[in-house]
Amino acid sequence: MRNSPKVILAGGNGYIGGTTAFALKEAGFEPIILDNFSTSIRGALKGFEVIETDLTDLPQTQHAFKKIGQAAGVIHFAAKALVPESFKIPGHYYSNNLLSALNLAETSKSFGVPIFLHSSSCAVYGIPKQIPIPETSNLEASSPYGDTKIMAEVLLNRYHHMNCLRVVHLRYFNPAGAWPKYGWGEAHEPETHLIPNLVSAALQNRPVSLFGNQYPTPDGSCIRDFIHVIDLAEAHVKTLQAMLQGLNVPLRINVGRGVGSSVLEVIKTGEKVLEKKIQIKIEPAREGDPPQLVADSTLMKEVLNWMPSRDLSQMLHDDWTWRTSLVK
């Protein structure tokens, strides 16, 4: 990989960052990981250069970039990302998520790193007025976490418009699944996402929690647009390649399948894929959870000439395969 373009992955030791590291390596890049391991497991990601860095500390961030040298781009995954937690400790979310974005942008500018991909979120849309959601929708976050993503986008837009960086915000919908080939999957503590909780519940023969069953949807449960984490990683690779080729990539791109699945539909699909009956425990609705979040993925298809290919069954199967491998 001596002649491979280096790509800095800020927060690259996490679930999505690690998956993207493997996808970049397969595509001929050399990923360099920056992480402080606050929400990931130290030493979990093998085969990559990892530099322990607190991105809220500007001198530490600058030191890491100096050590790396010339890089083709930065992908910024490093952010606190639990919506319920963001209501409990909003100050921490604002300071962590905004400082890390600012320090990375300023350091990228100083070291001449031209491309900046920002892991944004469909949380910027809050409770959307239009489904599926286009990138032109108003930004009205319904959580402190969503606020921080909007603010980070505004901050990075200024660097983009001053021609300091070429920025693209990839607005994720709901990543799920695993990459069993690399022994890599979703391992958060606490785990708040549906599919890993569903698979874990099936493995442990316990109920899975359903947070709210009286939403204005056909079956009363929330509807989400789930995208396989490998497809999400490939979206980063495709975007980076397009930018390196000098293509005109828009500032904001939704990254989802454009397919909505309710929580109850996911559970039913899980029963088929895992061949297990899954019990449901009804819990109160969580603060900040919109009834529906489904991407309008038209722009992604037009710009990248690419669409996600892995369906909900594949996400459940891969998460199950990875999780069961851990207990053998």
Residues taking part in catalysis = 145
Whole-angstrom distance, CA of residue 116 vs CA of residue 54: 18
CA atoms within 13 A on the CB side of 130: 9
Whole-angstrom distance, CA of residue 300 vs CA of residue 287: 30
Which DSSP state fits 180?
G
Whole-angstrom distance, CA of residue 119 vs CA of residue 310: 20
CA atoms within 13 A on the CB side of 199: 26
- 140 sits in the region (left: phi over 0; alpha: psi -120 to 50; else beta) called beta
Strand order, beta sheet including 292-293? 261-262, 223-224, 292-293
Cα angle: 230, vertex 21, 117; to 5 degrees: 85
- 258 sits in the region (left: phi over 0; alpha: psi -120 to 50; else beta) called left
189: number of Cβ within 10 Å: 6
Contact 152, 101 (CB under 8 A): yes
Contact 106, 169 (CB under 8 A): no
H or E stretch covering 300: helix 298-304
Tell me the CA distances in angstroms from 54 to 36, 37, 100, 144, 294, one per residue in order: 5, 9, 8, 22, 34
Contact 90, 132 (CB under 8 A): no
